[in-house]
Structure 1
Amino acid sequence: MSLEKQALTVTINGKKIGPVEVPVAMPMIDFLHEYVNLTGTRFGCGQGVCHACTIVEVHPDGTTTESRTCVLGAHYFNNKSIITIEGQAKYDKLGQLEQLSPIQQAFIDHFSFQCGYCTPGFVAGATVFLDGLKRQPVKRANLESAIELALNDHICRCTGYVRYYEAVKEVALSTPGYVID
């Protein structure tokens, strides 16, 4: 018995991948790990509940949304653009790290992780939230509740929520135009 395969083309972290023949039923997380060797995205519950597997989906209009790679098949992303945890930072031409994204740096500064397993999903969720603030800033008085709402579905078994939220709050407050009085 052979697996049915279809061609898949996807842009990951700004780089076009494919077309590559991929099993039709393969979850995106398996494609990331097995085909493109991007292992930063974590497999958690396998049911899309914990959000550890979350990546950023970039739409043609430039907006972003969260996508859970354990429940979405690789072919869902055919001809789409995504950003994994590996694509958040900036690298030089030799592939050496130049600079972390603002949210990655804030997570480090706030020690916003314990075991770190859920961190890639939280980074993706925070990135989408912060990206949304570019288009629709939040009132300072509503910032904390907006962060809680945006990251509410992400589960941290080590209960590092306060540090995650503080890091996101710092980036939102320090980025001009994200928060209004």
Structure 2
Amino acid sequence: MSTAEVKIHVNGRPVTVVAADTDMSLAEFLHERLDLTGTKVCCGIGVCRACTVGVRSRHDALMEKTLACVTPVSAAANQYIYTVESLADGARLSPLQQTFLESFAFQCGYCTPGFLMAATAMLEHLKTYRMSADQLETEIDAWVGENLCRCTGYVKYREAIRKVAQMQMKRGA
């Protein structure tokens, strides 16, 4: 058990984690202490990727993906954590969320937050690391290829991610 409190940022706000909570998984902390239940825990061992959250080492760093069910809060010290709740701007969905919805990308939706957060990190990287359209499938596979879904067969998820990535690449943003 850790004896020191930890400071993290969650969805843009600073959070002080008391020492007793630093050994909790990040997913458990988000659920139990911050009431952010969008991050899902399915397998509990990091295999399914439903628990994926975005993490930045600094607020201006590129987002990486992290498995919240197997990451202790102490490992997130001084990091910037982003959950699926951070994507929408009030009632306005992010372009990725809107495209998932319009594409009927999900059925039960349990794995959707993990796909959204992994794809959000990928899209952020695409803004910095330009690539050709023919490299896109490989990039999508690298970012969401390990995410598991028992309902959809992945086609709609990948189509939605591809659509947003292609729009972003076309805009050059």
Deviation at 1:4, TM superposition (A): 5.6
Pairing partner for 2:152 from 143, 154, 159: 159
Aligned position for 1:7 = 5
Q: Relative to structure 1, is the Cα distance of residues 10 and 24 closer, same or farther in structure 2, using a 3 angstrom cutoff? A: closer
| Bigger-Rg structure (1/2) | 1
Alignment of 1:1-181 (within 5 A): 6-60=4-58, 61-91=60-90, 97=91, 99-175=92-168, 176-177=171-172
Q: Decide whether the 8 Å contact of 2:40 with 2:111 is kept in 1.
A: yes
More strand by share: 1
* Residue 19 of structure 1, CA deviation: 4.6
Output the aligned Cα RMSD: 1.6
Q: Is the 8 A contact 2:25 2:73 kept in 1?
A: yes
Question: What SS does the corresponding residue of 2:148 show, helix, strand or coil?
Answer: coil
Rounded to whole Å, the distance in 2 between the matches of 1:26 and 1:90 is: 29
Letter in 2 for 1:177: G
Aligned length: 170
Q: What is the deviation of 1:90?
A: 1.0
Unaligned runs of 5+ in 1: 92-96
Greater fraction of residues in helix: 2
Whole-angstrom distance in 1 between the partners of 2:137 and 2:5? 43
Percent identity (aligned): 39
- Tell me if structure 2 keeps the 8 A contact 1:47–1:71: yes
Say which SS state the counterpart of residue 18 (structure 1) adopts: strand
Contact 2:21 2:29 survives alignment (8 Å): no
Structure 1 segments of 4 or more deviating over 6 A? none
